[in-house]
Every structure is written in C-alpha cells, then in structure tokens.
Amino acid sequence: MALKKFIIRRYEGHSDRAQVEDLERRCKVGPSESVLDTMGDPMCRIRNSPMYIMLVAEMENELVGVIQGLIKMVKVHTHPPKDMAKVGYVLGLRVSPHSRRKGIGSSLVQRLEEWFTSNDVEYAYMATEKENHASINLFMEKYCYTKFRTPTILINPVNHHLFQISSNIEIAMVKVEKAESLYRRFMGSTEFFPSDIENILRNKLSLGTWVAYFKGDSDFGLDGEVPDSWAMLSVWNCGEIFKLRLGKAPLSCMLFTKSWSLIGRMFPCMKLPTLPNFFSPFGFYFMYGVYQEGPFSGKLVRALCQFVHNMASRSEQSKIIVTEIGGRDDLIHHIPHWKLLSCQDLWCIKALNNEGTNKFHELSNTQSSITLFVDPREV
C-alpha cells in the first residue's frame, strides 16, 4: 500500500486556524497530558518574539502536523564575539495521532532547521519535561540534539488567602528604563540573557518589574548605588494569550489534593489555602528575571513572591505562579513552590553551521551556570 503524500508549508491564519486548534486538542502533551487552549491564536506563544514562523504538514486537505520556531540573540558563554549567539527555539511540534510514524515530524523539524539556517542561526534548541522520554528520545536519537541544561520549573498555587508582607520591607515598582538598566548591569552576563530585554519589558504582557529592599537601607541612587541587600523580579501574564488544562495528574497528586480539601472542610479554623482545579482551563503568572544580591536577599525574594501571589489572587485570573531557574540556583530555597507540582526541565541543543559546530563541543560540555535567564516569550 502506497504511503499518502504530505506537504510542508507556512501556516495561514485565516484558513488553518480551526484545524490547528483541533490538532492541538487531540495531541496531549507530556506525562500530565496537558492541553493548550490558545484562545483563537495558535501563534500566541511565538508572536511576541523578534522573528518567528509556524509550519504545518498537510495531507489530502487535512492538517496532520505543526511546528513553531523563533529566532533571537542571546548570551552564550565562550562564543565570539562578545559571548553572543543567534539561536533558534523549536517548540510546539505536534503530529496527529493517526498520522504518526510517516516521517511527518522529521520533515517539520528539518524544514524549520532550514529556515533557521537561512537566517544565520548558529544553534537550535528545544525544551521539554525531563520525564517526557518520548520527546527526548525523538530529538536526541532522530534529530541529533544533545542534552544542554536542566533548569527547574517551580509552581506555586494561588489561593484567596493574602500574605502579610513584613513591615520592614519596601517593595517598589520601577520604570522600564530603570528595569532595563538593572537587568543589563546585573544579569547581562547570565546564560541565555536576551539582547532585546527592553522589548520584553515593554511588552503588554509584562505587568511590571519590582524591587525589594529593607526600609532604612540605602535606596537605588542615580549614581548606580544599590542597597546592601535587594531583590528584583518581573511578571508576565501568560493567561492573557493561552490557558492550560491537565488531562491527568499523578496518583500521589490526586490523593494529596483530595486529602487537603477534606481536611480544609473538617477543620475550617485551620484556614488552609485552597487548591485550584487544574482540570478546567486556567491561566498563570510567570515570574522572570528573578535576581538577588546581599546577605539577607533571600527574605526579600520571598517577600516579592508573596507580593506577586497577592496580585494574582486579586486578579482572579491566574491559578498558579510559575518560574524557571537554573538547576543549581540558590533561588530555589527562597521561591515558594510545591514540590508535588514542580518539575525539572531539559534543554537540548544542536549546532547548525560550521562556526557553531566549532564551539559546540565546548558549549555542550561546559558545566551548567548557576543562573539562567528564561525568556517569558517562550513559556
């Protein structure tokens, strides 16, 4: 029996949207079988990036596959000149369940990498849950990607109990110009720091940047002076462009959730925080650019996280707060999160041209840096 032929082409919003959304619903992602609701815009996860593309695979007038990609300049240590490199991010690879094992996924990845190469991209990379063995094996065995970094995704539920932030801590929102200056000064050398940080901070999805310091300590002076201990973070509202829904949860998580709810009903005086329903569509806030400096800055990071929680609780639009940090980052001790909901991510990378190949071995074998900048546009 002859195999049916398919073609790879660019996504056309007006005619392809409905089929891509249907494909997304049928392709549950990861061990939790998450379902992504793009709310009428399948390109919402890449639209805010400097350069982006979406490709679809079509077979007999039916869309059977899709992939997305974006391009940007980031900080990559040991890479000349100035430790900056042009990278392409691969995301959203989906193949219809009844059309798998026909080379559709491989063709989509190949065409996307060709687009990267035509735009002088030196490295392509992708990210997935560390437990998503199917995706990892696919990219490493078929597409020759190499394990690169293992950041940690921290998740904290939002409930209706507001936190009381310590009275000796000052939390202030800073203007975009000041935020950009602070990020370039203190995080500019962080791995994968984006060259266009100002565009991220000015994006409508970025709710703002806040700093925290102790009252009575020196303020942020015009001469660049900073307090002895201080912390900073920014917030991205992912719920404005897409919603998530879990298809299933680990048995341990389900048992814990039921027990927690039962205890809360039996002993209301304990005022336990309420757990959100993850099986209905929900939005979330993503904290990015989390930075701390000084001997007592850990307490300030926690205060900022409590501030963001209160902000999310009042908005009633976000059920969780998410952040992603380097696998060895001490921030994990200060950012509130539930271990049961949090997980480890895996980034895989591949060199696409000769210049990238010359530095690839050194790059992929360098020890993971403590800090890592995760671009909110790629969440």
Q: Are residues 163 and 142 in the same domain?
A: no
Euclidean distance between CA atoms 360 and 354, whole angstroms? 9
State mean pLDDT over 153-157.
93
Q: Are residues 95 and 225 in the same domain?
A: no
Per residue in 309-361, pLDDT tens?
A: 999 999 877 889 999 998 878 999 999 999 888 888 999 999 998 665 555 55
Q: Are residues 305 and 197 in the same domain?
A: yes
Q: Are residues 247 and 139 in the same domain?
A: no
Tokens of 147: 């394990």
Q: Does the structure show a pLDDT above 70 at 273?
A: no
Q: Are residues 173 and 284 in the same domain?
A: yes
Residue 278 lies in a domain: yes
Could you tell me which of 142, 53, 147, 73 has the C-alpha nearest to residue 105?
142
Q: Are residues 351 and 306 in the same domain?
A: no
Reduced to 3 states (helix: H, G, I; strand: E, B; else coil), residue 197 is helix
**What's the mean per-residue pLDDT of the chain?**
85
Q: Are residues 295 and 251 in the same domain?
A: yes
Residue range(s) defining the domain that contains residue 108? 7-150+346-365
Q: Are residues 206 and 326 in the same domain?
A: yes
Q: Does the structure show a pLDDT above 70 at 167?
A: yes
Residue 338 lies in a domain: no
Per residue in 106-134, pLDDT tens?
A: 999 999 999 999 999 999 999 988 888 88
Q: Does the structure show a pLDDT above 90 at 202?
A: yes
For the chain, list the strands marked E by DSSP. Answer: 7-10, 34-37, 51-59, 62-75, 84-95, 123-129, 146-149, 152-157, 169-174, 206-214, 230-237, 243-246, 283-293, 318-325, 343-351
Decide: 140 and 349 in contact? Cβ < 8 Å. no
Which CA distances in Å does 52 have to 75, 120, 237, 378? 19, 14, 20, 11
Q: Are residues 305 and 242 in the same domain?
A: yes
Could you tell me which of 310, 257, 264, 263 has the C-alpha nearest to residue 279?
257
Q: In this structure, what CATH number is given to the domain that contains residue 167?
A: 3.40.630
Q: Are residues 164 and 145 in the same domain?
A: no
Per the structure, how many domains does the chain have? 2
Per residue in 3-54, pLDDT tens?
A: 678 999 999 988 999 999 889 888 766 555 566 777 778 999 999 999 999 9
Residue 370 lies in a domain: no
Q: Are residues 269 and 212 in the same domain?
A: yes
Q: Residue 277: which pLDDT band, with cuts at 50, 70 and 90?
A: low
Q: Residue 272: which pLDDT band, with cuts at 50, 70 and 90?
A: very low
Spell out the alpha helix ranges (H) of the chain.
13-26, 104-118, 133-137, 176-186, 197-202, 251-266, 297-315, 354-365
**Most confident of the following: 22-36, 153-167, 218-232, 265-279:** 153-167
Q: Are residues 166 and 129 in the same domain?
A: no
Decide: 345 and 148 in contact? Cβ < 8 Å. no
Tokens of 97: 């369940």
Decide: 234 and 212 in contact? Cβ < 8 Å. no
Euclidean distance between CA atoms 271 and 259, whole angstroms? 15
